[in-house]
Amino acid sequence: MSSPIAYPIFRSPNPALALRVARQLVGVGDRRYAEVSVDVELCTVPEVLRMREALPDAWFRKEDVEDWARDPSDPTGLHRGVHAPDLSGDPDFLSSHLPLWASMEYRPVDSVEEGFAALVGPNIGEIWWSGLIWPDAPDRGIRGEADNARISLLFNCRTLGLDQRSDDHTVLVHVRRRSRDGSGERHASWLAERIGRSVIGPPQE
């Protein structure tokens, strides 16, 4: 079974510019089956309430493994996820469960990206496009790819684990990791070249 590997191809303090570059890269692939998902970490009650209001179709969840172990019965529903209209607005309740994550998954491409990028603010977040098909490049020995064809735009973070805060935003292209012979980087470089970019850092898995 194949596995993906991701290479950064663009970084900027301007979220709108980073989104523009990510969308250009989306255009390199076949989009007929593509979908887009978003996710954002919320560390304060005002930010949770702001996102609940702005994203009424989002799902809110808690990513605290220790909390799951303490109470696997999930009385709050936040382990499975709570739909925005059903999320309590009580500040005491929310503050006891921070940070919360808000997500919307597998939406039509171009349906949520711009609004989410404008909303994310200082929070760590991600937009990712899945279901793409990378084209063949026979002259480069590159075969088309579907299973691992994906693009990530990381906000205020540089790592796919969303665990290292930064003051800029990073676009990564995902390709199939075939071997350790550099073929993954060659594929990522070729895709980046299609929009006038290049690989700018080490891969992430």
Six-digit token pair at 83?
A: 């739909």
186, burial (CB in 10 Å: exposed 0-12, middle 13-18, buried 19+):
middle
**Averaged pLDDT score across all residues of the chain:** 91
Average pLDDT, integer, range 24-39: 96
- Structure-derived torsion over alpha carbons of residues 2, 140, 131, 203, reported in degrees to the nearest 10: 60
More confidently predicted of 68 and 57: 57
pTM for the structure as a whole:
0.93
Q: Tell me what pLDDT residue 183 has.
A: 78
For residue 12, the number of C-alpha atoms closer than 13 Å in the C-beta half-sphere is 14
Average pLDDT, integer, range 80-108: 96
pLDDT at residue 68 greater than cutoff 50: yes
Average pLDDT, integer, range 41-57: 97
Q: Tell me what pLDDT residue 22 has.
A: 98
Q: How confident is the model at residue 205 (pLDDT cuts 50, 70, 90)?
A: confident
CA distance 102 to 41: 7
pLDDT at residue 1 greater than cutoff 60: no
Q: Nearest to residue 127, comparing CAs of 201, 28, 25?
A: 25
pLDDT at residue 177 greater than cutoff 90: no
Tallying the residues shown for the chain, one arrives at 205
In the chain, where are the structural domains located? 4-43+100-193, 57-98
pLDDT in tens, 131-158: 999 998 777 767 777 788 999 999 999 9
